Structure formats: structure tokens, C-alpha cells
Amino acid sequence: MRGLRKNAVRMAGTLCAVMLAVAACGGGDSATGGSGGGGGPIKVGLLTTLSGPASAGFVGAEPGVNARLQAYKAEGGKCSDRQFELVTADDQSSPQGALAGAQKLVQQDKVYGLLEVSSYFFGAAKYVTTSAKGTPTIGGAFDSAPQWLDSDNNLFAALAKVPDFSKTYTTTGEYWKRLGVTKVASVAYDNKASQDGMNQVLRSSDAAGLPRAYVNDTLAFGSADIGAIVLGIKNSGADALYLPITPDTSLAIVGGLRQAGVNLKSIISATGYGADLLASPPAVQAAQGMTFVSQVLPVESNTPATQKLSNALKQFAGSPSGVPTFSETYGWLSADLFIHGLEAAGCDASQASFLSTLRDDHSWDGGGLLAGKADFVQLSSDQDCVFLVDLKGDGFVPVPNWAPGCGTRVG
């Protein structure tokens, strides 16, 4: 199992998102941040995890952003004659690091906008929405910062809906119910994002009449001590397991359960769908039969939208398979939403014009990758839609009749 962890830790892990910052200078209605005069380069700031224990899960963030920007130049979009200059900042796997990184991008690099792929963005959210409120900020919004649910600021989630962990949806509970699940277990890290994700799913199972058999939300990030967890799940009699943790830790737990002779009806991992898991033969073996959540249409669906993403990752990000990693996905989506906002506001738009125009826009759907169109005014939704894929053999297979699966809000 120790060898499996060593291989699997290279995979993309934590719930992530990408923050893109773009700047261009000029007079009148041209952009006020960044470098160059009217029509000059647009500076794009990316806040992500480059060091610390969570960094293995974010290596695809910058390639994902770059792939979208380069694909846009190649396809000759409305603003493709503008030059994009990407500047990165490291959150150092901590909320304090996220704050320092955001301050660097805004104050020192003077970016036009921010993209974030970071589970620790909540540490920078207050600064970004106050002192840096004029800087358009785009990201995955999975860090649980409450500012994402406020439509009167400069944050835009690169998703069809903002994750609102305070709400309960029938999605997961109904899925488990149709599989014949009777009792559920879940393991989360000792941080807010992981715990909030776990509690939302547990409330969904409650609503479906599926009791909680084992719950652990005190796992230290990066911990290899999973023996007691495996024993606790085994003794609980649970037949379903939800894991809002990194794939390396998830696979260690799953491997331990199988060694202990525990065969569950369903194991759902919030992260792990992507090429990084497929690149590790021990991880592929360990993950057989697991189900993975994806917020975007899986490339295995082979639609024009997924083909565009897959081909761009092969051409511009050096991806052998074209299957995106978690961080590549959010890098791509954040850059795509930034480009969408720039085209809508005008290629030389000021930051203020970008913010007001994108806030009122209701047409972005990630180029066909999302389950619906984003609404940047009505942020909370009465419906929750996700894509699910199973790992079978050496690849992912979309769950039948779940493309996507949608649940309704409870209460």
C-alpha cells in the first residue's frame, strides 16, 4: 500500500479551481491594469498551488489555462489579436499563502483579472472582494469562501452554479438509493472545504432515508495513517462510501478496505477523474469499480465540446491522452470564462466594464462542457447536476443514464 501511495500521490488531488488575472493599459475605455497601451498585452494572473503538501494536485492548472489561451489564438477569436501574458502566484498550500499570492498579483504584477485554481482561495477572498474589488476574479469556487455566493462583488465561478454547501440536494442520496445502498460512510480532511462537501452528501443520504454508519472528518491532509479508518468503515456495516479527499488518500483507504475483505456497493470520490490517475497502473488497479464526480461533460462522451478540449490539451499542454486532470479542467474553464467576458465587454474594455457586462451575461456554458448556463446574478440554484464516471479496465466510462444526473433542493 505504501508503494501505491507513492505512485498515486502524483495524481491531481484536491478540490480545485483556477484564478485568471488579465490586465491591459490604456486611456478612456481601455483596460486600466496590466501592461501595454490600448491593444497591448493583457496580463493574466493565475493563483494556484505550486508548493506544499497539496501541490501534486495542481500541476495541471497552468497548462490548462495556457491550453485555452493558445487554442483561442489558434482559432482566431474576436479578441485573439491581443497578447496574453500569464503571471503565476503560489498559495503555498495555505490560506495565508493564498492571500500573499493574490496581493502579489494585484499590487505588484497589476493584473487585469485573476484566475484561481486553489482550495485555499478562501484565505484571499476578503482581500480580493474589498481592496482588490476592481479586479475581475474567476475560479472554481470550491474552497467554500462565502463571497462566491454574493453577486455584488468581483467574483465569478467558472461553473454552471456556485457550490452552496449549506443547501441539500437529492442527487447523491437518490443515486445510492437506486443502487440498493442501505448505510453510508464518509471520510473528510480536517478543513472546511472537505468537511462541507462531506456534510452536504450526508444530508442528501439522510433525505433518501439512508442512515450514516461511519463518519470521520478529522483526517490530517497528507496523512498515511488510515488503518483505524479502514477498521471503522468495516465494523460499521456501511455499503457506500463518499470521499471528498485527494485520490492518493482515497485509493489508500479503498485498498485497505479490499485487503480487509470489504466490498462496498458504491465508492464515490469527489476528485480523481483525469489522466493523472490513468497514468499510474497501481492506481488504475486500485480504483477499479470506483465512481468519480466531474463537474464537466467527460471527454469520453465524445461531443464537439469535449473533442475541442481534448485536442487542445494534446496540442498545447502535452497531454498524451487528452483526458483532462482536475486542475487542467478548472484552468481551462476559468480561462474560457475570462475570454467570454472579454469578448462580451469588448477587447479593450476597462475592468469596470468587464465586471458589469459579465455580471449581466446569461449565455456562458463552458463551450458546451457544463450541465447548463451560468447565472451570475441568481447564484443559488434549486437543482444540482453532476456527471459521474466509473473506472473500468484502463479507462473511464460515463455512468449510464446519468449525463448529467440532477437532484432537487431539499427544504
Q: Contact at 8 Å (CB) between 86 and 66?
A: yes
pLDDT tens digits, residue range 352-377?
999 999 999 999 999 999 999 999 99
Distance between CA atoms of residues 82 and 23, nearest Å: 11
Cβ atoms within 10 A of the Cβ of 112, count?
32
Query: Domain 10-160+302-380 belongs to what topology?
Result: Rossmann fold (3.40.50)
What pTM was estimated for this model as a whole? 0.84
Distance CA(398)–CA(275), nearest Å, equals: 15
pLDDT at 217 over 60: yes
Task: Report the alpha-carbon distance of residue 105 to residue 112 in Å, rounded.
Answer: 9
- Average pLDDT, stretch 62-76? 97
- Give the domain ranges of the chain: 10-160+302-380, 171-294+384-408
For every residue of 14-46, DSSP letters joined together read S----EE---B--STTS--SSBSSTT-PEEEEE
pLDDT for the residue 257: 96
pLDDT, position 142: 87
pLDDT digits (tens, 9 = 90+) for 95-132: 999 999 999 999 999 999 999 999 999 999 999 999 99
Residue pair 8/100 in contact (Cβ under 8 Å)? The answer is no
Q: 212 in helix, strand or coil?
A: strand
Assign domain 171-294+384-408 to its CATH architecture. Answer: 3-Layer(aba) Sandwich (3.40)
- For residues 184 and 176, the answer to whether their CB atoms sit within 8 Å is yes
pLDDT per residue as tens digits for the range 147-193: 999 999 999 999 988 888 899 999 999 999 999 999 999 999 998 88
The predicted-structure confidence for 316-339, as pLDDT tens digits, reads as follows 999 999 999 989 999 999 999 999
Give Cα separations from 56 to 9, 29, 263, 326, 343 (angstroms). 7, 41, 29, 11, 33
10-160+302-380 and 171-294+384-408 agree in CATH topology: yes
φ/ψ (deg, to 5) at 337: -70, -35
Task: Return the higher-pLDDT residue of 25 and 298.
Answer: 298
